[in-house]
Structure 1
Amino acid sequence: MTVSDEAYAAILGATAQIEWSVLEPHFARGDLLAVAAQLDLVAVAAAMMEDNSELIKGWMEAGQLQVASDAQAADWAERQPDTLWAVVIRPWVLVQERAA
């Protein structure tokens, strides 16, 4: 993937730590995508911005990028982790739980 340094920096600047309560409405609308911890959240966002369907399809097939599940939402609602990071790539909100 070839994303410019400026695009990467812009996405990185739009990425923030976030509370589950802020993400919950996005989950309810079905526009919350969960990104596996082993992926670079910014790189995934960049691939989505560039419409890199090959990369995105590979991550989805590997279960590394998926619509947030009911089980994930219930877990986040119960635990209220402080390790959630998110970035908006319209119409999606990408969320990643990072190791503490």
Structure 2
Amino acid sequence: MQDLKAELTASLDEAEWQWLLPHVARDSLIIVTPGLNIVDVGVAIANNNVLLVENWINEQLISKPSLNQMTQWQANMSKRFNALIVQPFVLIQELPATNQNYP
């Protein structure tokens, strides 16, 4: 499990909303709330930890993006997220707006 966590940590990257659109089309995006560690969520999904993942879903700590969220992000195509690919999903976590002032 440590190897998987290290591997996922190494593959964590930033992505702009426009880069995530193909994953929206495939319905493979999962939003991770800022209170959770995105790598820990990735490890749980990769290891098929159903109880933990179901708990996060029930507590609305992980979810599919809502139409309202996608509309807001669509208005700002350069909005940035932490992104982590855990096949077949792409986990995303909004970055604070302060990180979004780069050209």
TM-score (norm 1): 0.88
Matched, 1:52 2:49: yes
Query: Which residue in the other structure is 2:101 paired with?
Result: none
Indicate yes or no: 2:64 matched with 1:67. yes
Cα offset for 1:19? 0.8
**Aligned residue number for residue 26 of structure 1:** 23
What is the alpha-carbon distance in structure 1 between the residues aligned to residue 60 and residue 79 of structure 2?
Answer: 21
TM-align CA RMSD: 1.2
Q: Provide the rounded CA distance (Å) in 1 between the counterparts of 2:67 and 2:86.
A: 21
Q: Is 1:78 matched up with 2:45?
A: no
**How many pairs are equivalent?**
96
Cα offsets for 1:14-45 (capped at 9, x unmatched): 11000111101111221111111110000000
Aligned residue for 1:18, secondary structure, equals strand
C-alpha separation in 1, matches of 2:95 and 2:17: 13
State, as a whole percentage, how many aligned pairs show the same letter: 27
CA distance in 1, matches of 2:84, 2:63: 15
- TM-score for both structures, normalised by structure 2: 0.86
Gaps of 5+ in 2: 99-103
